[in-house]
Amino acid sequence: MGKSLKLIFLCSVLFSATTLLASKVLDISGDTRYYTDFGEIEVGDSITKSITLHNNGDENLTVRKIYFHDSIRKNYDPINWTGVIGAGESQEINVTFRPTSEPSYRGALYVRF
């Protein structure tokens, strides 16, 4: 039996130069507004949590890609959702963490729009 691992998952937003005030347009929330804690999990097991993307803007927001920082990417299932989030609307996505070794994990999720 492997060591129990705890992951704290930080959220970030990447945006194009034409998108102004991105932090006021897209809100990402999990356990809190800024992070999702996946708790303790054994190596080889997995846990899935939901994260909500909320469009605070007054226009549709096209999400082009959702991905993880390179240092932790291999420990997550890919997120294949892309699409449009209407003004004032939300989209829930599932994030699955699968630790492959025993260190603690801390990383970021990026949303490109």
- Chain position carrying tokens 């996946």: 38
pTM (two decimals): 0.73
| CA nearest neighbour of 30 among 66, 6, 54 | 54
Q: Cα separation of 39 and 27, whole Å?
A: 23
* pLDDT category of residue 24 using cuts at 50, 70 and 90: low
- What integer best gives the mean pLDDT of the chain? 74
Q: What pLDDT does residue 32 have? A: 60
Q: Cα separation of 106 and 41, whole Å?
A: 14
Burial of 28 (0-12, 13-18, 19+ CB in 10 A): buried
pLDDT digits (tens, 9 = 90+) for 31-76: 666 667 777 788 888 888 888 888 888 889 899 888 887 777 777 7
Q: Answer whether 30's CB lies under 8 Å from 51's CB.
A: yes
Query: Please, what are the domains in the chain?
Result: 4-112 (2.60.370.10)
Q: Answer whether 56's CB lies under 8 Å from 26's CB.
A: yes
* pLDDT category of residue 103 using cuts at 50, 70 and 90: confident
Q: Cα separation of 19 and 113, whole Å?
A: 9
